[in-house]
C-alpha cells in the first residue's frame, strides 16, 4: 500500500513537472516569435524612413554660402588710426630752464598711454597740467608736451623752472593755532602748536589774511620768529 501511494505521488509530480516545462517552452517560443516579428517591422520602417529622408534631401535647395564674419571685415584702402602699443618706444625729455639742462630717458610706455591715439594723448597732457600733483607744482612744472607720435615711438617733454613757482607754503590761523598748508591750499604741511593769541597783534593781522612762503628755509625762519 505505501509503495502504491508513493508511485502515485511520483507520477503526479512527474506530470506537473512535465506540464511546467512544456508551458515554459511554449511561452519562450511565443516570445521569440513576437521578438522576430517586432524586429522585422522595425527594420522595415527604418528602411522606409531612410528612403523618405533621401527623397527630401534630393528635393531640398542648396543653402547659399554666407561670407564668414562679413561685419568685421575692414576695407583694404581704409587706414587704421595709429595708437600707442605695448611695444612702442617711449622717450621722455626733462628740461630744467633754470639750470639749462636736458635729461633724456627711454622707458616702456606707461600703462595709461597704451591704446591711446594722438588726440587722446594730447588731452591727457592737458588734463595733467590742469590738475598737476603737488610735487610737480613745487618742482615748477610749466609745460608737458607731445614732441612726436608714431606707432614705433612717442617723445614727450616736461619743462621745469623753480623760479616760476609763486609760493610753496601758505601760513594761516585755524582753530586758534598756526597751520602751514602746501601750495595747493588744501593739504596740510604742518600743524604747529603756536597759539595765535600769544602772538603780537601785527602778526595776527598778517596771519588772518594768510602768508605766502617760497621756501622751507623761509618757512622755518617765520615759525621760529613766532616761537621766540
> In which region does residue 172 sit, left (phi positive, over 0), alpha (psi from -120 to 50) or beta (all else)?
beta
How would you write the pLDDT of the chain (228 residues) with one tens digit per residue? 555 655 666 666 677 677 777 777 776 766 667 666 655 665 566 556 556 555 655 655 555 554 544 445 555 555 578 999 999 999 999 999 989 999 999 999 999 999 999 999 999 999 999 988 888 888 889 999 999 999 899 999 999 998 888 788 999 999 999 999 988 888 899 999 999 999 999 999 999 999 999 888 999 999 999 987
CA dihedral (198, 203, 204, 208) positive or negative: negative
Which residues, in sequence order, are CB contacts of 160 under 8 Å at separation 6+?
A: 94, 95, 96, 97, 98, 139, 140, 141, 142
Domain ranges of the chain: 8-59, 83-164, 169-227
What is the pTM for the complete model shown?
0.51
Instruction: Report the pLDDT value the prediction gives residue 70, as an integer from 0 to 100.
Output: 44
Nearest Cα to Cα of residue 118 among 90, 98, 97, 146:
146
Q: Which fold has domain 83-164?
A: Ubiquitin-like (UB roll) (3.10.20)
Cβ(188)–Cβ(174) below 8 Å:
no
Residues 149 and 117 sit within 8 Å (Cβ to Cβ): no
Amino acid at each position: 500500500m505505501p509503495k502504491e501511494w508513493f508511485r502515485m505521488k511520483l507520477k503526479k509530480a512527474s506530470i506537473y513537472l512535465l506540464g511546467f516545462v512544456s508551458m515554459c517552452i511554449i511561452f519562450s517560443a511565443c516570445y521569440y516569435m513576437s521578438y522576430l516579428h517586432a524586429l522585422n517591422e522595425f527594420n522595415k520602417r527604418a528602411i522606409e524612413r531612410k528612403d523618405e529622408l533621401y527623397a527630401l534631401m534630393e528635393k531640398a535647395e542648396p543653402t547659399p554660402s554666407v561670407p564668414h564674419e562679413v561685419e568685421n571685415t575692414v576695407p583694404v584702402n581704409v587706414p587704421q588710426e595709429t595708437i600707442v602699443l605695448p611695444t612702442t618706444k617711449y622717450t621722455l625729455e626733462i628740461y630744467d630752464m633754470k639750470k639749462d639742462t636736458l635729461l633724456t630717458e627711454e622707458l616702456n610706455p606707461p600703462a595709461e598711454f597704451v591704446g591711446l591715439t594722438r588726440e587722446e594723448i594730447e588731452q591727457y597732457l592737458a588734463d595733467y597740467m590742469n590738475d598737476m600733483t603737488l610735487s610737480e607744482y613745487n618742482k615748477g612744472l610749466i609745460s608737458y608736451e607731445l614732441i612726436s607720435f608714431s606707432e614705433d615711438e612717442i617723445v614727450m617733454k616736461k619743462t621745469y623752472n623753480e623760479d616760476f613757482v609763486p609760493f610753496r607754503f601758505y601760513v594761516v590761523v585755524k582753530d586758534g593755532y598756526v597751520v602751514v598748508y602746501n601750495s595747493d591750499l588744501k593739504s596740510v604741511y604742518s600743524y604747529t602748536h603756536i597759539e595765535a593769541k600769544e602772538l603780537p597783534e601785527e602778526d595776527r593781522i598778517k596771519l588772518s589774511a594768510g602768508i605766502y612762503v617760497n621756501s622751507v628755509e623761509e618757512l622755518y625762519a617765520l615759525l621760529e620768529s613766532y616761537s621766540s
